Amino acid sequence: SREGGYGLGREALPEEVAAWDFDVRPDGLGLPEGSGDVWTGEEVFVEKCSMCHGDFGEAVGRWPVLAGGWDTLENKDPVKTIGSYWPYLSTVFDYVHRAMPFGEAESLTADETYAITAYLLYVNNLVEDDFELSHENFAEVRLPNEGGFFMDDRLETEFPAFVRPEICMENCKETVEITMRASVLDVTPEESGVVE
Amino acid sequence: MKPSRRSFLTGAAAAGAGAVATVAKGQGAPDPAIVEQQPWRTFLGEGVDAYPYGMPSEHEAHVIRRSVPWLTADPISSVNFTPLHELDGIITPNGLCFERHHGGIAEVDPVEHRLMINGLVDKQMVFTMEDLKRFPRENHVYFLECAANSGMEWAGAQLNGCQFTHGMIHNVMYTGIPLRLLLEEAGVKTNGKWIMVEGADAAGMNRSIPIEKAMDDCLIAFKMNGEALRPEQGYPVRLVVPGWEGNMWVKWLRRIEVGDQPWHAREETSKYTDLLENGTARRFTWEMDAKSVITNPSPQAPITHGPGPTVLTGVAWSGRGTIPRVDVTIDGGKNWYQARMSGPSLNKSMHRFYFEFDWDGTPLLLQSRAHDSTGYVQPTKNELRAIRGENSIYHNNGIQTWYVNEQGIAENVEIS
């Protein structure tokens, strides 16, 4: 670093910051003014989203499931959706607004994004069908799994076990058995692109 | 002709039986490779203008990135894999560095590219690429490992080859400017505790990073291995977040916002959070823990030379420091040997290890075990599962086992 900086770059204009800075945080910082209700959301969703995500967020083929999966997080095959897994509604708004529809990012208006978000709450059984979401009531909506996350704790839960001053080098076990083989599953792609 | 992996392995089996064309001893008859004149000894080769940007020998055409189509819904938001079994040393060639995109490869015009810094700063700023290249630069070799590397192996042995089980990683020398210098140019306010980094691609990839890391060793990189970043690696500029999960290394970086708390973006809530067996999930699992894999022999690189002197080699790395030591076993962990580290041993970089032994032709169970500079020793997969269960997707740094049979064919297995 250098005292006074390098004097490189220039000041960003307010219009430039506004054009790019549209991210939204859990506390609502960054939310644009606007609103949208469940029924409007359903119309937009069916038109722009359902070909991949299904009419009710249940997904088509391998595309992501957006609704359902409640109480499956402890299952062998958990279904992680907005309703079952995501902690914050702000993430739904932010991600839909910035990156969806897949292949036509940043094409949704603020009102359309509010409406889609309201519809996604509805198909996750979190609001009634007459619900309208807006920048004013956004922060009141909480998702079921908000408390389901905690800060990385590996240093407390794993390091005491895995920092090992002594480690066995000789005669460490009597027997060893193969318990699982990848070739039984046989899901590895054939090698392609090998040219002779 | 495009031989399948199976026909390749069949060939390897035949090789194990001793029928290899390239074995130069005990043939009796003179070797035609010597007694017959080769065309390259007779005719002139291409001139210096034939290849302004060179490519590998046509005999290396199998050394390529590969994908596993069933892993993702489409090839745009998807991943491919570095052919670790074909590489040596620690530097990954640019054209072989694995790719992970969420909105495809953004083809950015560097003249039109801008980097904005806004939020809790004294002065909201915009930089062009030309501006960025006037800041003091640094060079560092770092590994970039996808958080999901080996993620398909949580429930057991699935994919047969270290390219697929461990190939979401590359290790290159980055040239860039310390992120700290840019943040200082804008002037971070005292309540600026986090930054959000965001890409210019159609995914608008965004992640939150604590200001301590941003001020420590993050780089705004525009070169890899001496040349400009490849488009698939973020051309013209990407973030380098040493030791931390690859998702945070935002490509096509266009904006850095300073804030007083994390954003909880999609890629740090829905994705890149690690679900445990009890239904709760770790968030902000940034560091990539110590890990290693034997790259040869391995399922895509069987032993074709029969018994006798054999070179075992692999790579190890840790997001928390260097790798002073790697242990290897050839009998499934009954006995271990310290491998020989070779080449540069750099912080948060890949390290190369070798173990030379005389193979007696009996089956082998190969494993490697990395130790990092914090004293952490790479755990077994079962030790990780005992703490995390099988559904955390990310951060699988468990010890890998290859079973090598009498023919020298190697397979991905798990052992007791």
Could you report the per-residue pLDDT of B343-390, keeping only the tens digit for each? 999 999 999 999 999 999 999 999 999 999 999 999 999 999 999 999
Q: Is B59 on the interface with A (CB under 8 A)?
A: no
Q: Which pLDDT value is given to residue A193?
A: 44
Q: Is B324 on the interface with A (CB under 8 A)?
A: no
Q: How far is A36 from chain B (nearest CA, A)?
A: 21
Q: Is B386 on the interface with A (CB under 8 A)?
A: no
Q: Which pLDDT value is given to residue B14?
A: 40
Q: How far is A94 from chain B (nearest CA, A)?
A: 7
C-alpha span between B140 and B196 (Å, rounded): 23
CA–CA distance from B260 to each of A11, A95, A184, B247 (Å)? 22, 20, 51, 22
Q: Is B70 on the interface with A (CB under 8 A)?
A: yes
- Give the pLDDT confidence of A92-103 residue by residue, as tens digits: 999 999 999 999
Q: Which pLDDT value is given to residue B342?
A: 97
pLDDT category at B24 given cuts 50, 70, 90 is low
Q: Which pLDDT value is given to residue B341?
A: 98
B248, B270, B327, B373, best to mutate vs chain A, most A CBs in 10 Å: B270
- Chain B hits for A59, CB-CB cut-off 8 Å, are none
Smallest Cβ–Cβ distance between A5 and the set B128, B185, B332 belongs to B185
Contact A172/B118, CB-based, under 8 Å?
A: no
End-to-end CA, chain A: 54
pLDDT category at B92 given cuts 50, 70, 90 is very high
Q: Which pLDDT value is given to residue B387?
A: 97
CA B146 to chain centre: 7
Q: Is the distance from CB of B296 to CB of B304 less than 8 angstroms?
A: no
For B261-270, b/e burial (b = at least 16 CB within 10 A) is ebbbbbbbbb
Which region, left, alpha or beta, applies to residue A134 given φ > 0 means left and ψ of -120 to 50 means alpha?
A: beta
Q: How far is B278 from chain A (nearest CA, A)?
A: 5
C-alpha span between A123 and B372 (Å, rounded): 48
Instruction: Pick the residue from chain B with its C-alpha nearest to A18.
Output: B118
Smallest Cβ–Cβ distance between B269 and the set A88, A98, A172 belongs to A88
Helix H or strand E encompassing B371: strand B364-371
Could you tell me which residues come within 8 angstroms of residue A184 by beta carbon, excluding any fewer than 6 positions away?
none
Contact B255/A157, CB-based, under 8 Å?
A: no
Contact B414/A99, CB-based, under 8 Å?
A: no
C-alpha span between B69 and B363 (Å, rounded): 32
Q: Is B217 on the interface with A (CB under 8 A)?
A: no
Residues, chain B: 416
- Chain B hits for A61, CB-CB cut-off 8 Å, are 73
What are the tokens at A146? 């908000």
Q: Which pLDDT value is given to residue A3?
A: 84
CA–CA distance from B89 to each of B140, B290, B342, B368 (Å)? 16, 18, 8, 17
Q: Which pLDDT value is given to residue B99?
A: 98
Q: Report the amino acid identity of residue A192.
A: S
- Is beta strand B169-178 parallel, antiparallel or unpaired with respect to B78-79? unpaired
Reported ipTM exceeds the 0.90 cut: yes
Q: Which pLDDT value is given to residue B6?
A: 42
- Is beta strand B253-259 parallel, antiparallel or unpaired with respect to B114-119? parallel
Instruction: Pick the residue from chain A with its C-alpha nearest to B137.
Output: A1
Smallest Cβ–Cβ distance between B8 and the set A170, A177, A191 belongs to A191
- Chain B hits for A156, CB-CB cut-off 8 Å, are none
pLDDT category at B173 given cuts 50, 70, 90 is very high
Q: What is the mean pLDDT of chain B?
A: 94
- Give the pLDDT confidence of B134-170 residue by residue, as tens digits: 999 999 999 999 999 999 999 999 999 999 999 999 9
Instruction: Pick the residue from chain A with its C-alpha nearest to B336.
Output: A169
- Give the pLDDT confidence of B308-349 residue by residue, as tens digits: 999 999 999 999 999 999 999 999 999 999 999 999 999 999
What are the tokens at B69? 């189509």
Q: Which pLDDT value is given to residue A184?
A: 79
- Is beta strand A149-151 parallel, antiparallel or unpaired with respect to B281-283? parallel
pLDDT category at B26 given cuts 50, 70, 90 is low
In chain A (196 residues long), the average pLDDT of successive 10-residue segments reads: 90 97 96 98 98 96 95 95 98 98 96 98 97 96 98 98 96 95 82 46
Instruction: Pick the residue from chain B with its C-alpha nearest to A12.
Output: B125
Q: Report the amino acid identity of residue B315.
A: V
- Give the pLDDT confidence of B232-281 residue by residue, as tens digits: 999 999 999 999 999 999 999 999 999 999 999 999 999 999 999 999 99
How many A×B Cβ pairs under 8 Å?
278
User: What three-state secondary structure class fits B249?
Assistant: coil
C-alpha span between B188 and A144 (Å, rounded): 35
Instruction: Pick the residue from chain B with its C-alpha nearest to A105.
Output: B202
- Chain B hits for A69, CB-CB cut-off 8 Å, are none
Interface of B with A in 223-282 (CB under 8 A): 254-255, 257, 259, 261, 263-266, 269-270, 273, 275, 277-282
What number of other Cβ atoms are within 10 A of residue B301's Cβ? 22
Q: Is the distance from CB of B154 to CB of B385 less than 8 angstroms?
A: yes
